Amino acid sequence: MLVTTTAAREARITAEPDPPSFDEVYAASFADLAVQLYAYFGDRQEAQDVAQEAFCRALARWNTIARYDDPVAWIRRVAWNLAVSRWRRARTAMNFLRRQRPDEPQTEGPGPERVTLIAALGTLPSAQRRAVVLHYLADLPVAEIALRERVTEVTVRSHLHRGRAALAVQLKLTESHGGAS
């Protein structure tokens, strides 16, 4: 008698509760992750590309990742690794070419407040920008950011402090010119 799919499924169910499916995690997490990366890059399409790549890599070993306590944490970590890696730089030329296509789906542009915030974020050094985005958009505690960035918690607090101060200056300057409120 050959192995049957049903029997294999029963074995998994017996072993542990059903892990989340890839589709469930994708649907629940893609947009949040893309927004975080958008705040970091200032480029929505690039953010979506990096998020999609992270999910592709997760899919390649989903049987393992699905059993983790927090599969999204793994995907987020890969996405941020990609965000600062050669992979993204290598994609730049391809992205440029793709944007020349006339049939690129268009979406409504961001409002002035969001443009101002993204622009202000863009002035921060990358380490500060990552710390601010991970803290305010990914809702990660300082300790987890420190672990991810491989720096001390003191360094993360310093990045957050300086980032906040710089953003305050940037956004107040804009306010004085009647921009964002």
Partner 1 sequence: MTTDQLKDLFDDLREGTVPTIRPPGAAAARRTLRRRRATTAAVSAAAAVVAIAGGVTVVAGHGEPAPRPTLAPAVASTEPAPTQPEPTGPQPTGTERTALDAITDGRPMLTVTSPVVTGYKWAKKIYPPVVEFTAACAGAGEITLTITGGSPLDHNRFKTHDMPIKVVCTSSPKPVRAELMTRIGVGLTVRMTGAKGTTARSGFAFSLRGTSGEEFAPDDERLDLESMVGRAGGKLDDGRVVRHGGGTPSYEPGHGFSAHGWTQLAGTEAYDLVVACRGEGTYTLELWRGGQPDFKDVQAGKRTGTHVTTQTVPCTAAPQRFSWPVGALGSGVTFWENYENTTGTIGTVAWSLVTRE
Give me the residues that bind partner 1 (CB under 8 A), please: 1-4, 7-8, 10-12, 14-16, 22-23, 26-27, 30-32, 34-35, 38-39, 44, 48, 51-52, 55-61, 63-64, 68, 74, 78, 81-82, 85-87, 105, 107-108, 110-111, 113-114, 117-118, 136-137, 164, 167-168, 171-172
Tell me if residue 155 falls in helix, strand or coil.
helix
CB of 63 to partner 1, least distance (A): 6
CB of 130 to partner 1, least distance (A): 14
**CB nearer to partner 1: pick between 10 and 154:** 10
CB of 78 to partner 1, least distance (A): 6
**CB nearer to partner 1: pick between 151 and 153:** 151
CB of 86 to partner 1, least distance (A): 5
CB of 96 to partner 1, least distance (A): 19
**CB nearer to partner 1: pick between 154 and 175:** 175
**CB nearer to partner 1: pick between 102 and 105:** 105
Taking the CA atoms of the chain, what radius of gyration do you get in angstroms?
20
3-state secondary structure string across the chain: CCCCHHHHHHHHHHHCCCCCCHHHHHHHHHHHHHHHHHHHHCCHHHHHHHHHHHHHHHHHCHHHHCCCCCHHHHHHHHHHHHHCCHHHHHHHHHHHHHHCCCCCCCCCCCCHHHHHHHHHHHCCCHHHHHHHHHHHCCCCCHHHHHHHHCCCHHHHHHHHHHHHHHHHHHHHHHHHCCCCC
